[in-house]
Structure 1
Amino acid sequence: MEAVMTTSHSAFVGEIPFYYDKYLGPMIFDQYARDLSARVKVPEAGVVLETAAGTGIATRELRDILAAGVHIVATDLNPDMLDLARGKFSDQQNIEFQTGDAQQLPFDDDCFDAVVCQFSMMFFPDKLRAMQEAARVLKPGGVLLFNVWDSLQHNYLVQTASRCICHCLSDNPPNFFATPFGFHNIDTIKGLLFEAGFADIEISVLPRTSLAADARSVALGFVLGTPVRVQIAADHQVPLTDIVAAVEKDIGEEFGFKNIREKMQAIVFVAQLKSA
């Protein structure tokens, strides 16, 4: 299968998955993974597909919350992310890992009770196609559940980190963060869901508090745990260590250097297909 999602913004490769999981997981992802997983309601012997599963942060919550008889299929386009995710589970935990593109799913029609996507819809070049693929593989009455980040203005730590990185590299500022924090217009997303065939849509705006032990953890997460690292390395001669130090300094001066607690905000969509 030819992968569709191949932009540098989705290139979570090399060492990026390690930093992503270690620093960004507890800082910004874990709370929303628990929330999204708790919304999944399927039969005790149901089948759940997770697209763009990354390092398995939401997969872990799904496995902990859902009945043991629920079979989880976790897919991601990036093998490096999926390898890290796979290592978190035993063979007895009823989880199947598979490389796959959410815009071109390698599954038959009508075979899943729910499709879950944690903070990845923003990265798909063809978002409508990803929603249509979810609708295709869902059983009648099945549910697509996903979350997206609200704008940078509602996510204080990454807003400051992004501003600092762009200031350090002002001649050609990296534009990575515009992608994960640029798909949040509720009416636009609802329109795509309706066009994809979903009928009943529930929306929740969820402000939460991001948690970090120190400013360096924030810097390591956002600089080394995202594809902005790839952009910096490809387009600039500034050492990554200098960028990490600059972000650490700006975060510390604005929010404190230890025990950081700052606002973050996401939007959750739960969209159901019509029953047969």
Structure 2
Amino acid sequence: NQPMLDHARTRMVDDPRITWQQADAQALPFEDAQFDAVACQFGAMFFPDRVGAYGQVRRVMRLGGHFLFNVWGAIEENEFADEVTRALGHFFPADPPRFMARTPHGYHDADVIRADLHAAGFRNITIEPLDAVSAASSPYEAATAYCQGTPLRVEIEARGGSLEEVTRYVANALGKRFGEGPVSGRIRALVVDAA
């Protein structure tokens, strides 16, 4: 989206080889065979039509090009997101917000990803897990990031909860599991290379 591009533009040295352009991944506004590589960082899980978007990527790639992207692993393999989702389930037991499990962590099955890429015409596909550690200066900082800095916020507000009260509740749950000072938790992503 344009605000993200504007932010990126401020962080990059001016380079005449870089053009910043907002585009819809499902209708890329580029001619066929224009790029040697296409990269997408934690975006594929948001595509309404993944096969269609992958087909667009394949169309704009040159022969021998690579499509490199990553998606989050299963929510159980991402400790902060998992604990946040559990805590919200306790806070809203009748209608728990499931955004994290449904969307960012909902496209983690390597067989499904491979089948979608095959359907779009890709044949050489590697999918590798990548494990790392996520860190925050406090449980409250991590809770704020999830509850107020992601689309999860919309689900919380739609249920009528006080955003600050919910954030504190989630921070408390994170503190019980990970400690009260600086916290860290295991995260996993899948890194995909398709040609």
Q: TM-score band (shorter)? A: over 0.9
Tell me the CA shift for residue 99 of structure 1: 1.4
2:83 corresponds to which residue? 160
Q: Which runs of 5+ in 1 are unaligned?
A: 1-77
Q: How far has the Cα of 1:148 moved from its partner?
A: 1.0
Structure 2 runs not aligned, ≥5 long: none
The letter for the 1-side match of 2:64 is G
Aligned residue among 18, 25, 33 for 1:102: 25
Shift of residue 254, structure 1, vs aligned partner = 0.5
**Aligned partner (choices 54, 57, 80) of residue 3 of structure 2:** 80
Aligned to 1:145: 68
CA drift of 1:230 comes to: 1.8
Structure 1 pair 193–98 and aligned structure 2 pair: CA distance change class (3 A): same
2:119 corresponds in structure 1 to 195
2:131 to 186, 207, 215: 207
Q: Distance in 2 between matches of 1:230 and 1:85?
A: 25
User: 1:162 offset after TM fit, Å?
Assistant: 1.4
Deviation at residue 165 of structure 1 after TM alignment: 1.9
The alpha-carbon deviation at position 84 of structure 1 amounts to 2.4
Structure 2 match to 1:260: 183
The residue type equivalent to 1:200 in the other structure is N
Identity %: 38
Judge which range, 90-99 or 162-171, deviates more.
90-99
What amino acid sits opposite 2:153 in the alignment? R
2-structure distance, mates of 1:84, 1:258: 30
| Residue type of the alignment partner of 2:192 | F
Counterpart of 2:99 (choices 145, 157, 176) is 176
Deviation, 1:186, is 0.9
CA deviation string 1:103-126 (max 9, x = no partner)? 111111100010001111111110
Supply the distance in 1 between the matched residues of 2:143 and 2:16 (Cα, whole angstroms).
34
What SS class does the counterpart of residue 19 from structure 2 fall into? strand
What is the letter of the counterpart of residue 19 of structure 2? E
Evaluate the alpha carbon distance shift between residue 93 and residue 159 of structure 1 in structure 2; reply closer, same or farther with a 3 A threshold: farther
Q: Specify the alignment match of 1:47 in structure 2.
A: none
Q: Distance in 1 between matches of 2:133 and 2:106?
A: 20
Seen in structure 2, the aligned counterparts of structure 1 residues 258 and 93 have a Cα distance that, compared at 3 Å, is farther
**Aligned counterpart, 1:111:** 34
Secondary structure class of the residue paired with 1:241: helix
CA distance in 2, matches of 1:136, 1:143: 12
Give the total of aligned pairs. 194
SS in 2 for 1:188: helix
* Preserved contact between residue 147 and residue 156 of structure 2 (Cα < 8 Å): no
Separation in structure 2 between the aligned mates of residue 169 and residue 79 of structure 1, nearest angstrom: 34
Residues 252 and 104 (structure 1), Cα distance of their counterparts in 2 relative to 1, 3 Å cut: same
Equivalent in 259, 262, 269 of residue 192 of structure 2: 269
Alignment of 1:50-89 (within 5 A): 78-89=1-12
The verdict on how the C-alpha distance between 1:165 and 1:84 changes in structure 2, with shifts beyond 3 A counting, is farther
The TM-score, its normalising length taken from structure 2, stands at: 0.93
Partner letter of residue 104 of structure 2?
P
